[in-house]
Amino acid sequence: MFAARFPRRPHALAAFLAVPLLAAGSLSTPASAQDADRDAELAARRAELDARYAFGPTAARSIGYRIGWQTTLDAPIVRFDVFAGDVYTVDANNHLTRIDRATGSQVWNITACDPNDHVWGVTPGQPPFDGLPWGQNDGDRLYVTTDPVVFEIDHATGAVVGRQDLEKIPSTDVTRYGNYLIFGTRGGQIVWHQYLVGQEWRANQLLGPIVATPTMVGSDGIAAASQGGTVLMLDARSAGRMWGDKVFDGVTTPLTAGGGSVFVAGKDQYLWAFDARDGKVAWRYFTETPLDTQPIHAIATIDGESRGVVLQWVEGEGLVCLEADPGDTIEGKVNWRIPEARGAAVGRIGENIALWDAEARVLRIVDVARGAVARAIELPQVASLRMVGDVIFASGDDGRLVRLDPVR
């Protein structure tokens, strides 16, 4: 039976000798050509699939992620916010869309404000004291802060149910504390707007315009800085001043809190570390150029020891890693430098820090322990990227929004 299905073949050596030497090369040509054609076809299919997504599956697999969903809006996305169970996008026409975070389905779409207005915040209100988490109660409200007004929106339906005129125009994104929307102004004020009554409650004055979003410090602190060089720590509950200082030049990037310190990157070419409790200068690191990117605080294992570090992009030096607590060294202590690792921190991927370089459209994964770029992924179709926990959300130039989840 086997002889009938598989006829006997000549001995391998005899078969080889029976074939002219010139023909031996021609035998491999069809197979090589077929392999090349197959590889080219697979590459074309992969490229076609990657082009369908703002953040394609090939790039996702390279960092251990998979695509959860993608949805497409009618206009480019200018900002998106992720909280509770949904994603809220604002497009170039100032249409606000609520998107189910789990499935990517669009729940409602409304005109949030005039197309010429700037949206400074899309903020959930405070849930009832004895109610469910926000977004699960009847009557939960969403607050959209624009140049002239705050719009109050019913979370369930998207209906605009209130309008609150602002006494002062924001110049920063909104930070929420309790029943207050807190933001900076061009006049140098940090404003507490009470959104339940729709009026400004209190304000605190800094020197010069404020363009950096106020930073929450712990549970009750608000840290802010101005282009005039003022650095203030304020009590979020009372808007009162806890401590203040003045650096040598303006601050244009948000402050960073971590490990009991507040880190300030200034135009004065210094990275400052202030004690969050009393405002004393713990250390300051001098650089060769003005600083205009936010510091990054992280916990990393270096030389087998877990400790706090601060990462700061410095033109001419690259990404600089300093000890968050350098002991008695007032000048700061540098662990390493990576010349090419530019980007804003968006989160952690495994033990590494993910940096998004919006200008170059490159996602860099930095191994803090080794002081090296573990991976750099070019994402030409991604306009903005952020992480919520270990989930990645990325928007494209054409209204696409994609969710990526880690492969467990």
pLDDT in tens, 129-187: 899 999 999 999 999 999 989 999 999 999 999 999 999 999 999 999 999 999 999 99
Amino acid letter at 289?
Answer: T
Contact between 90 and 122 (Cβ < 8 Å):
yes
Contact between 383 and 398 (Cβ < 8 Å):
no
| Closest residue by Cα to residue 75 from 401, 398, 402 | 398
Residue entry with tokens 């001995």: 11
Distant-in-sequence, close-in-space partners of 121: CB < 8 Å, separation ≥ 6: 143, 144, 145, 170, 173, 174, 176, 181, 183
Q: According to the model, what pLDDT value does residue 14 have? A: 35
Q: According to the model, what pLDDT value does residue 43 have? A: 79
pLDDT bracket for residue 31 (50, 70, 90): low
Which 3 state secondary structure label does DSSP give 100?
strand
Q: According to the model, what pLDDT value does residue 347 have? A: 95
Q: According to the model, what pLDDT value does residue 201 have? A: 97
Whether the per-residue pLDDT at 213 is higher than 90: the answer is yes
Region 244-263: mean pLDDT is: 97
d(CA 70, CA 401): 6
Q: What angle do CA 111, 115, 118 make, to 5 degrees?
A: 100
Whether the per-residue pLDDT at 326 is higher than 90: the answer is yes
Please list the alpha-helical segments (H only) found in 63-112: none
Pairing verdict, β 344-349 and 334-338:
unpaired
Whether the per-residue pLDDT at 342 is higher than 50: the answer is yes
254-311: pLDDT as tens digits: 999 999 999 999 999 999 999 999 999 999 999 999 999 999 999 988 888 899 999 9
Between 11-15, 167-171, 274-278, 398-402, the lowest mean confidence (pLDDT) is in 11-15
Region 185-209: mean pLDDT is: 97
Q: Show the tokens assigned to 281.
A: 């200068």
Whether the per-residue pLDDT at 219 is higher than 60: the answer is yes
Query: Quick one: the chain helix, strand, coil %, rounded to 5?
Result: 10, 45, 40
DSSP structure class, residue 59 = H
Pairing verdict, β 215-217 and 221-225:
antiparallel
Burial environment of residue 312 by CB neighbours within 10 A (0 to 12, 13 to 18, 19 or more): buried
Residue entry with tokens 């959930």: 124
d(CA 236, CA 238): 6
Percent of the chain residues topping a pLDDT of 90:
83
| Closest residue by Cα to residue 384 from 164, 115, 55 | 55
Q: According to the model, what pLDDT value does residue 8 have? A: 38
Whether the per-residue pLDDT at 346 is higher than 90: the answer is yes
Distant-in-sequence, close-in-space partners of 117: CB < 8 Å, separation ≥ 6: 94, 146, 147, 148
Q: Show the tokens assigned to 215.
A: 């930073």
- Radius of gyration of the chain measured on its C-alpha atoms: 28
Q: According to the model, what pLDDT value does residue 35 have? A: 73
Contact between 263 and 295 (Cβ < 8 Å):
yes
The mean pLDDT of the chain is: 91
347-396: pLDDT as tens digits: 999 999 999 999 999 999 999 999 999 999 999 999 999 999 999 999 99
Please give the C-alpha separations between residue 307 and each of 302, 323, 329, 353, in angstroms, as whole numbers: 7, 8, 16, 15
